[in-house]
């Protein structure tokens, strides 16, 4: 390992698992104790690490060994999640603890330049780096949003435009992948997990052995375009019977409008009808839930994760899907893979913006100055 990646490894380990003693750090990173001593010294000199004396522990004789911790306020980061109608922004510290939040409606702004101008107004100048996340196909390495389905963007050099507007180094990423990165760095201890988002679209982030999968072409985890019904409705992507064409919120509402004859039915109204026992509406939710469970069951069989986390835009709506999702998973998960833990968690858009900030933090950590 070269010096830069050794420093980054040390810094990431203390950031995500600290405070810890140098000996533990050597064990966790696989570096020698003298190397750890030397590299942590330079991280202390540049103000990224501090020594704390709180971790001596009982039963130790003499002076307790100093533990190392990250100076979380050494740098601040901004994260912005772009939805179809709003920007959601956060400022975080190095540990991705949210210090500030802001929301800004997009109004008529849909063109990339207009949205980027609003991002420029939202992001404070004192942050070290910015992460911007959008739905769809985003190339993190080049910062290009190749396809954003809600705003209809194609091949937008999003990171470069945001850098120009804010003056801050920017990384752009797919939104669920960014949210998954935050969970991977600062959330669950699980080394292999799937984070599924059900709402205006259906998508997932995949973590295998501690790494978020990006795929060879920057596309991975497009759960919404996994086929679940060869005779199902046509999807906006051009294919037929995608999960998203069956279980996304617009797909659900289209189907419920058909069965009830209420063309302007809202999700709240649909939930009310289902709760009042309307069997036609109940069956639409059940069908969608089973489809989600079937698709996630397939993912579980392929990757064997410890944990599946469901995040729903609308928790009351997800509550109607959930028993069918769980039944679908149980019906399709193979053998011991069915031991997977399944959690449902509210993850508001501020958490998605925090995910975008985490991608910026991750890039910073990879290049943390240590000498
Ligand atoms: Zn599709």
CA of 279 to the centre of ligand 1 (A): 28
- Which residue positions in the chain have pLDDT lower than 50? 55-56
Tell whether the torsion through CA atoms of 148, 158, 215 and 199 is positive or negative. negative
Domain layout of the chain by residue ranges: 3-70, 74-180+351-366, 189-347
Max intra-chain CA distance, the chain:
78
Q: What is the pLDDT of residue 313?
A: 82
Check if 3-70 and 74-180+351-366 are the same fold. Answer: no
Q: What is the pLDDT of residue 336?
A: 84
Query: Which CATH code for domain 3-70?
Result: 1.10.10.10
CA of 339 to the centre of ligand 1 (A): 29
Query: How far apart are alpha carbons 149 and 329 in whole angstroms?
Result: 28
Q: Which of 317, 5, 365 is nearest to 185 (CA)?
A: 365
CA of 72 to the centre of ligand 1 (A): 41
Q: What CATH number does domain 189-347 carry, 3.40.50.1000, 3.90.105.10, 3.30.420.40, 1.10.730.10? A: 3.30.420.40
Q: What are phi and psi of 265, to 5 degrees?
A: -60, 135
* Beta bridge partners of residue 94, listed in sequence order: none
DSSP of 31-71, one letter per residue?
Answer: --HHHHHHHHHHHHHTTSEEEESTT--TT--SSPPPEEEE-
- Burial (CB count <10 Å: 0-12, 13-18, 19+), residue 107: exposed
Q: What is the pLDDT of residue 41?
A: 95
Q: What is the pLDDT of residue 54?
A: 59
Q: Pull the structure tokens for residue 143.
A: 């910062």
Classify domain 74-180+351-366 at the CATH superfamily level. ATPase, nucleotide binding domain (3.30.420.40)
CA of 138 to the centre of ligand 1 (A): 17
Enumerate residues with CB within 5 Å of ligand 1 (an ion): 225, 235, 237, 239, 242
CA of 341 to the centre of ligand 1 (A): 28
3-state secondary structure of 24: helix
């Amino acid at each position: 390992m070269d010096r830069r990646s050794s420093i980054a490894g040390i810094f990431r380990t203390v950031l995500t698992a600290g405070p810890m003693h140098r000996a533990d750090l050597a064990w966790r990173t696989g570096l020698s104790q003298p190397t750890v001593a030397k590299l942590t010294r330079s991280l202390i000199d540049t103000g990224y690490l501090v020594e704390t004396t709180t971790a001596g522990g009982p039963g130790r004789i003499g002076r307790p060994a100093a533990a190392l911790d990250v100076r979380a306020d050494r740098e601040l980061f901004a994260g912005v999640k772009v939805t179809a109608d709003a920007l959601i922004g956060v400022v975080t510290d190095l540990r991705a603890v949210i210090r500030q939040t802001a929301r800004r409606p997009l109004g008529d702004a849909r063109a990339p330049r207009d949205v980027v101008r609003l991002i420029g107004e939202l992001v404070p100048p004192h942050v070290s780096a910015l992460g911007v996340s959008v739905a769809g196909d985003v190339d993190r390495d080049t910062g290009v949003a190749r396809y954003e389905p809600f705003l209809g963007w194609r091949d937008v050099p999003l990171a470069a435009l945001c850098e120009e507007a804010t003056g801050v180094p920017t990384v752009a990423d797919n939104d669920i992948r960014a949210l998954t990165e935050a969970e991977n760095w600062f959330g669950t201890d699980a080394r292999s997990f799937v984070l599924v988002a059900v709402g205006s679209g259906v998508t997932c982030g995949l973590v295998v052995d501690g790494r978020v999968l990006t795929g060879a072409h920057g596309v991975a985890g497009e759960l919404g375009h996994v086929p679940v019904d060869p005779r199902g409705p046509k999807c906006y992507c051009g294919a037929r019977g995608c999960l998203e064409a069956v279980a996304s919120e617009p797909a659900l509402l289209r189907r419920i409008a058909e069965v009830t004859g209420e063309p302007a039915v809202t999700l709240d109204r649909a939930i009310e009808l289902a709760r009042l026992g309307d069997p036609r509406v109940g069956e639409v939710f059940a069908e969608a839930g089973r489809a989600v469970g079937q698709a996630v069951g397939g993912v579980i069989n392929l990757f064997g994760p410890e944990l599946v986390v469901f995040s729903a835009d609308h928790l009351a709506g997800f509550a109607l899907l959930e028993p069918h999702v769980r039944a679908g998973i149980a019906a399709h998960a193979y053998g011991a893979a069915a031991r997977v833990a399944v959690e449902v968690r509210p993850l508001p858009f501020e958490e998605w913006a925090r995910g975008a900030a985490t991608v910026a933090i991750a890039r910073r950590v990879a290049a943390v100055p240590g000498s």
